[in-house]
Amino acid sequence: MRRDVFQAIADPTRRAILVLIATQAMTPNALAENFHSTRQAVSKHIKVLTECGLVKQELTGREIYYHLNPKKMKEIDDWLAQFKAMWETRFNQLDKVLSTMKKSRLR
Please report the domains of the chain, with CATH numbers, ordered by start residue.
Answer: 5-106 (1.10.10.10)
Please check the confidence at residue 59 and state whether its pLDDT lies above 90: yes
Query: Which amino acid appears at position 59 of this protein?
Result: L
Average pLDDT of the residues of the chain: 91
Q: Residues 5-22: pLDDT tens digits?
A: 998 999 999 999 999 999
Please check the confidence at residue 1 and state whether its pLDDT lies above 60: no
Cross-strand bridge partners of residue 65: 58
Q: Quick one: pLDDT band at residue 55, thresholds 50, 70, 90?
A: very high
Give buried/exposed letters for 37-51 (b at 16+ CB in 10 A, else e): eeeeebeebbebbbe
pTM above 0.75, yes or no: yes
